[in-house]
Chains A and B, each alone.
Chain A
Amino acid sequence: MSYLLEMVDGTFSYNKQEKVFEKISFKLKKGDVLCILGANGAGKTTLLKCLNGLIHLDSGKVMLKGIDIQGLKPSTIAKSMGYIPQIHNSTFPFTVLDVVLMGRAPHIDTFSSPSTRDSKIAKKSLKDLKIYHMKDKAYTEISGGEQQLVFIARVLAQEPDVLILDEPTSHLDFGNQIRTMNIVDQLAKKGLSIIMSSHFPDHAFLSAKKVALMKGKSFIDIGPPEEVINEDNMKEVYDINVKIIDIGHRKACIALK
Chain B
Amino acid sequence: MMIKINIQDRIRTHQISAAALVSILLIILFFLSFLIGRYPVSPYHVIVALISKIFFMESGLPATVNTIIFDIRLPRIMAAMMVGGSLSLAGACFQGLFQNPLVSPDKLGVSAGAGFGAAIAILFSASVFMIQFSAFFWGLTAVGLTYFLGRVFKGTSILTLVLCGITIASLFSALLSLIKYVADPYGQLQTIVFWLMGSLAAVNNQDLFIMGIPIIIGSIILLMIRWRINVISMGEEEAQTLGVNTKRLQGIIILCCTIITASAVSICGIIGWIGLVIPHVGRMIVGPDHKVLLPVSIILGAFFLLLIDNVARTITTTEIPLGILTAIIGAPFFLYLLRKSKEVWA
Contact = CB atoms under 8 A, between A and B. Distances in A.
B318 interface: no
A161 B270 CA distance: 51
A147 to B, nearest CB: 13
Interface string A75-117: 1111100110100111111110011001101101011111000
A85 B238 contact: yes
Determine which residue in A89, A92, A99, A102 has the highest number of CB atoms from chain B within 10 A of its CB, and name it: A92
B345 interface: yes
B230 A74 contact: no
B81 to A, nearest CB: 25
B209 interface: no
A33 B109 CA distance: 49
B47 interface: no
A148 interface: no
Interface in B10-55: 11
Contact of A54 (B8, B240, B288, B345): B240
A237 B289 CA distance: 45
A71 to B, nearest CB: 14
Interface residues of B, number: 38
B319 interface: no
B101 interface: yes
Contact of A113 (B96, B238, B249, B291): B291
A73 interface: yes
Contacts of A75: 243-245
A88 B235 contact: yes
A66 to B, nearest CB: 20
A66 B103 CA distance: 44
Contacts of A82: 241
A183 B288 CA distance: 30
A91 B345 contact: yes
B238 A136 contact: no
B345 A111 contact: no
A105 B228 contact: yes
B99 A95 contact: no
Contacts of B235: 88-89
Contact of A73 (B226, B238, B245, B287): B245
Given A108-B227, A111-B225, A74 B11 contact: no
Given A89-B99, A91-B100, A102 B242 contact: yes
Nearest to B4: A133
A100 to B, nearest CB: 11
Contacts of A52: 241
A91 B101 contact: yes
A74 B249 CA distance: 12
Contacts of B345: 91-93
Contacts of B283: 92
A177 interface: no
Nearest to B7: A136
B191 interface: no
A25 interface: no
Interface in B321-346: 343-346
Contact of B228 (A73, A79, A110, A158): A110
B243 A105 contact: yes
Contact of A74 (B101, B224, B240, B287): B240
Given A91-B345, A92-B233, A111 B224 contact: yes
A218 interface: no
B231 interface: yes
Nearest to B283: A92
B47 to A, nearest CB: 37
B223 to A, nearest CB: 10
Nearest to B293: A92
A140 interface: yes
A85 B237 contact: yes
Interface of A: 52, 54, 73-79, 82-83, 85, 88-95, 98-99, 102-103, 105-106, 108, 110-114, 133, 135-136, 140-141, 158
18 contacts: A74-B245, A75-B243, A78-B243, A85-B238, A85-B241, A88-B234, A91-B99, A92-B283, A92-B345, A93-B287, A93-B288, A93-B344, A98-B230, A102-B230, A102-B231, A105-B228, A113-B291, A114-B227
Interface of B: 4, 7-8, 11, 96, 99-101, 224-228, 230-231, 233-235, 237-246, 249, 283, 287-289, 291, 343-346
Considering the complex of A and B, which 8 residue pairs feature the smallest CB-CB distances, nearest first?
A: A106-B243, A78-B243, A92-B288, A75-B243, A83-B241, A113-B227, A105-B242, A91-B99
Given A79-B243, A91-B345, 11 more contacts: A75-B245, A76-B243, A83-B241, A91-B233, A93-B287, A93-B343, A93-B346, A106-B243, A108-B227, A136-B7, A158-B242
